[in-house]
Amino acid sequence: MSDTSKPMDPTRRQFITKAGGAAGAAAIAPGVFLTTPAQAKPADQPVSNDKRWGILVDANKCGNGCNACVTACEEENGWGSANPSEDHSSPEQKAHWIRKVTIKDKATQHVTTLPMMCQHCENPPCVDVCPTGASFKREDGIVLVDKHICIGCRYCMMACPYKARSFIHEDLKDQKPWAPRGKGTVESCTMCVHRVDEDGTPACVEACNAETHKAMVFGDLYDENSEISRELKQYGGKEIRADLNLNTGVRYRGI
C-alpha cells in the first residue's frame, strides 16, 4: 500500500483541471490567481467525519433584490442562465440549485429574503427514500447524487422538505467537468464539493462576501474555532423545518 504520510501526487484529472485553470488565469490576468493554492486533500484519501461542513445564512444581512449567490452558483456549476441549452424546459421544469426566497410575516408584514438550497441534512429524507442509494451523504455531511446509479424515479424530490432537488427534463450541453448534469437524473446543490475538497469555499458564499453583504459563512461545524461555530455559539441559528429533526448543515439567522 502507498505511504500516506507524504502528500500524494494529484490525479490526472486534477492536474489537467489545475493546469487548465492556471493557464487560463495566466492568459487572462498574469500574476493573479482566481483561487488560492490549496492544501488539497489527495483524491485517494477518503473523506472523514472529523469535519461537518455547514453554511450559516444571516437573513438580516441578505440583500433584498441581490441575487449574487444564485448567479455565482449558476456560473460555477453551469445551470440556469449560465447554461442556455436547457431551453425546452418550462420555467417550472428548469433546474434550480439555489434560489432567493422572500418571506413576509403575515402578522407584522416584516419582509425577509434568504437563499434556499439543499440543507445538507444529517438525516436526509432524500437519502432514506432513494431505492438505489444514488442519493448519499458523505462522511463530512455533504449530500450528493451519484449520477451513475440514479434511475430518475424522483422519490427524493417527493421526500425533500425544501424543494432543493431538480430533475433534468432534457439533454444538456456545455457542462462543467465537476458538475455533470444528465437528462433523466436528479441533481441539487453540492455545496461546491469540488472546491471544498481543495480547501475552497462554495461559490455562493464567496459571491456573497464579494458583494460585501457577508450574509453567508461557510465552515466546519465541528471545529469550535471556526467562524461558523463561533457565530452559531454566540448568536445561535435556526433550522428551517426544525420540527422534522433533520439537523441541517445550513442554518439561518434572522428568520
Partner 1 sequence: MKQVLKYREIEGKSTGFWILLGGLGALIALALGAVLYMEHEGHYVTGMTNQIVWGMPHVFAIFLIVTASGILNPASIGTVFGKTLYKPLGRLSALLAISMLVGGLMILVLDLGHPDRLIIAMTYYNFKSIFAWNIILYNGFLAVVAIYIWLMMERKMNKYYPAAGFIAFIWRLILTTGTGSIFGFLVARQAYDAALLAPMFVIMSFAYGLAVFILVLMAAYAWTKRPLGDAVLFRLKNLLGVFIASVLYFVAVYHLTNLYAAENNGVEHFILMDGGIYTKLFWIVQILIGSLLPLAMVYHPTIGKSRPAIATAAALVIIGGFAQLYVLLIGGQAYPLEMFPGYEVTSSFFDGQVSSYSPSIWEITLGVGGIATALLMVTIAVRVLKFLPVTLEDAVVDPHAAKTD
Judged by the rule CB under 8 A, the positions of this chain that interact with partner 1 are 88-96, 99-107, 116, 125, 127-134, 149-155, 157-163, 165-171, 183-186, 240-241, 244, 255
Kindly state the smallest distance separating residue 206's Cβ from partner 1, in Å.
Answer: 21
22 versus 66: smaller Cβ distance to partner 1: 66
H or E segment and range at residue 56: strand 53-58
Kindly state the smallest distance separating residue 190's Cβ from partner 1, in Å.
Answer: 17
* Residue 156, CA distances (Å) to 144, 208, 211 in order: 11, 29, 33
* Residue 117, CA distances (Å) to 108, 120, 126, 189 in order: 26, 9, 14, 6
164 versus 196: smaller Cβ distance to partner 1: 164
- From CA 242, how far away is CA 250, in angstroms rounded? 11
Kindly state the smallest distance separating residue 228's Cβ from partner 1, in Å.
Answer: 22
Assigned C-alpha cell, 127: 437519502
45 versus 81: smaller Cβ distance to partner 1: 81
185 versus 190: smaller Cβ distance to partner 1: 185
Kindly state the smallest distance separating residue 148's Cβ from partner 1, in Å.
Answer: 8
Instruction: Output DSSP code: residue 238.
Output: B
166 versus 229: smaller Cβ distance to partner 1: 166
Which amino acid is present at 150?
A: C
> What's CA 103's distance to the chain center, in Å?
22
Kindly state the smallest distance separating residue 248's Cβ from partner 1, in Å.
Answer: 12
Count of C-beta atoms within a 10 Å radius of residue 106: 7
Kindly state the smallest distance separating residue 40's Cβ from partner 1, in Å.
Answer: 30
Minimal CA–CA distance to 97: which of 125, 66, 123, 76?
Answer: 76
119 versus 201: smaller Cβ distance to partner 1: 119
- From CA 152, how far away is CA 89, in angstroms rounded? 17
Minimal CA–CA distance to 144: which of 217, 196, 107, 99?
Answer: 196
